Amino acid sequence: HSRWQTQMAFSQTVYSFQVKEDVGKVEAQMDSPTPITYTVQEDDGENVFLLNPVSGEFLLSRSLDFEAQRFYILTVEVQQGHSQVSSVRVYFNALDVNDNPPVFSQNNFTASLLEDTRIRTCFLSLNVSDKDDGEVELTVASGDELGMFFIRSTGSLCLNKELDRESQSSYNLTVTAKDCARPASLQLTSTARVVVEVEDINDNAPFFVSAQHAGITEDSALHSVVMTLHAEDEDAGSNAKILYYLLNSSGGTFSIDNTTGEVFLEEILDREKADTLTITVTATDMGSPQIATTMNFTVHVEDVNDNDPVFSHSNYSLFIKEDAQRGTSLFHFEAQDQDIGSNGQVRYSLTPAGPFVVDAVRGVLSLRDQLDRERDSNYSLILTAADQGDVPRSATVTISITVLDVNDFTPQFSPELLIIHVKENEKDPSQLTNQVSALDEDLGINSQLIYFMQKGNSDGLFSVTPNGVFKILHSLDKEREPFYTVIITAVDSLTGTLTIHITVDDVNDNHPEFSEEVYNTIVSEDSPIGTVFAMISAFDADEG
């Protein structure tokens, strides 16, 4: 509420009042010594101002609006008494009050910028109006924490820092328009939303995100998918669309789908020939100009059990002495399997095992039981090598084992007692020969025997040749020695003995002999017939 009091001097024909537009009531009082009546004759304010006819006070019928009408002109007629009439021109000037906020031409603005736009480029005009007098200040209130933009005094939104669409593709700004009323507490503001879209340029190369290694079994079918390569590009649109190309395909082993990145198998694989393959792939975007990235990928060929174990020979011949000790290692067999893992792990088995055993893992053949060549001199074994695949594959070889003789048997005479009868006084006893023979179950030199006289030939009457011919060298005389015992030994590195009993058979080659050449005796004449009166004895060296 404000009051203006004015002493109206009738000498003035024009009166002027300054009225703020936000004043609710205006009073203008004009004093006079006599009663005066006030009336409004002309009014261009459409009864905005009401005049009290008695007091001369002007009242506002409604609020003023500086922005709608700034000046009001009224003609007031003043009548004093019954006759005196005069008129006064009254001017009301509406004073501006900061009652209108700045107004943007639109609530939402949009703009697009290429990400390589140069700094300080202005790209959007923010149209703001304020019905009040005074300047309007524009600022970016939010959405620009990195200070990417600024607003010129002309209202143009400009770029303050370099853009990178891949870091941020759009900015949602809140722009504030603030008038410059004083004090600051009277300032009014308004906001608008500005969306700045950053348009892509092809400034990024594709990069692969798929694994650089893949595995495929060596029995995979042709045209099966080996791996799917995937590359990404931080650009957008066609700048991010990627095509794939093989720079080499390991001799035509692989092909690639240019759009999906699927790698296909075009040739049969064999892990045993090549267990790793390298393919070089280029990922190219479709921007202008195009940008490409090249990378090597490794394909590991995984094993399947497609190979049998293989021995270095189809059969083996071994020789072992019969006195070899139990546990003796005879031979190390090794079968090679070109597969790997359990498919290439070989285990060994033996049939029939007999006195032998094979280490299932190492393939070492050993002696389990004592050998006896005289019982079994040869063995034929089947050695099997089997891998450990889910469906095992195997190979077999024949092992021929020959047991070598050692001199473990003594020569044996049969019978061990030989009785020979020889007539005494043979004219040519050397013709009386006997072949003695011992049996040695060993072989070779171990069974080659030499015979010699061990005992009973102190007089040198007998001989034996190395090959066992027994001879009587001299005539024997039964009456002198009726019986001889000779021991013959058969020798290799061991010995056996034969006992020969030689009996000299009697020949009537001796005359009887009286014990006395002359016998003297006495006999009584009266001895009866048959009386023994003397013992006459004769001795004959012969028998019978």
Shared domain check, 321 and 295? no
* Residue predicted with more confidence, 356 or 188: 356
* Structural contact between residues 516 and 534, judged by C-beta atoms closer than 8 angstroms: no
Amino acid letter, residue 133? D
At 15, the pLDDT band (50, 70, 90 cuts) reads low
Tell me the three state secondary structure of residue 507.
coil
- Identify the three-state secondary structure at position 243: strand
pLDDT in tens, 29-63: 545 555 677 778 877 767 887 888 877 787 877 77
Parallel/antiparallel/unpaired status of strands 128-129 and 103-104: antiparallel
Task: Give the domain range for residue 330.
Answer: 310-400
Mean pLDDT computed over 81-103: 75
**3-state class of 93 per DSSP?**
strand
Structure tokens at 117: 């736009």
Distance CA 36, CA 77 (A): 10
CATH number at residue 327: 2.60.40.60
Of these ranges, 175-184, 251-260, 520-529, the one predicted with the greatest mean pLDDT is 251-260
Are the C-beta atoms of 119 and 159 separated by less than 8 Å? yes
239: left (phi over 0), alpha (psi -120 to 50) or beta: alpha
Residues 368 and 436 in one domain: no
DSSP type of residue 13? S
Q: Is 511 helix (H, G, I), strand (E, B) or coil?
A: coil
| CA-atom Rg of the chain in angstroms | 73
490-527 residue pLDDT tens:
887 666 676 767 676 667 777 788 878 788 888 888 88
Whether residue 216 sits in one domain with residue 112: no
* Residue-wise pLDDT tens digits, 313-368: 999 999 999 899 999 999 999 999 999 999 999 999 999 989 999 999 999 999 99
Nearest by Cα to 284 from 213, 233, 212, 229: 233
Considering the domain architecture, whether residues 418 and 521 belong to the same structural domain is answered as yes
Is 437 in contact with 414 (CB distance < 8 Å)? no
SS3 of residue 187 by DSSP = coil
How many angstroms separate the CA atoms of 536 and 107, rounded?
184
Cross-strand pairs, 84: 80
Q: The tokens 């010129």 sit on which residue? A: 152
Decide: residue 458, CB within 10 A, 0-12 exposed, 13-18 middle, 19+ buried: exposed
Domain end, chosen from 47, 70, 95, is at 95
Q: What value does the mean pLDDT take over residues 258-263?
A: 96
On whether both 530 and 439 belong to a single domain, the answer is: yes
By the 8 A CB rule, do 14 and 86 touch? no
Of 400, 418, 436, the last residue of a domain is 400
Domain end call among 353, 384, 400: 400
Tokens representing residue 382 in the block? 């089947």
Same domain, 171 and 227: no
Average pLDDT value for residue range 107-119: 95
Question: Which amino acid, one-letter code, is at 410?
Answer: T
Question: Which pLDDT belongs to residue 318?
Answer: 95
- What is the token pair recorded at 68? 């709608």
- Same domain assignment for residues 428 and 373: no
Q: What is the mean pLDDT of residues 459-476?
A: 87
Q: How far is residue 460's CA from residue 476's CA, in Å, rounded to a whole number?
A: 12
3-state secondary structure 344-402: HCEEEEEECCCCEEECCCCCEEEECCCCCCCCCCEEEEEEEEEECCCCCCEEEEEEEEE
Torsional class of 427: left (φ above 0), alpha (ψ -120 to 50), beta (otherwise) = alpha
Question: What is the total count of domains within the chain?
Answer: 5
Given a cut of 60, whether residue 139 has pLDDT beyond it is: yes
119 and 85 within one domain:
no
Q: Note whether 523 and 443 are same-domain residues.
A: yes
Instruction: Give the residue among 251, 217, 466 at the shortest CA–CA distance from 343.
Output: 217
- pTM assigned to the model: 0.55
Q: How far apart are CA 28 and CA 56, in angstroms?
A: 7
Distances from the Cα of 127 to the Cαs of 137, 177, 233, 301, 324, in angstroms?
12, 10, 38, 68, 113
- Residues 217, 293, single domain; the answer is yes
Please, are residues 450 and 489 in contact by the beta-carbon 8 Å criterion? no
Q: What is the pLDDT of residues 396-451, one digit of tens each?
A: 999 999 998 887 778 888 888 888 888 887 777 777 788 888 887 777 777 778 88
Token digits of residue 533: 């009166």
Question: Is beta strand 207-208 parallel, antiparallel or unpaired with respect to 231-232?
Answer: antiparallel
Q: Are residues 436 and 542 in the same domain?
A: yes
Q: Is the confidence at residue 22, as pLDDT, over 60?
A: no
| Residue 150 and residue 54 in one domain | no
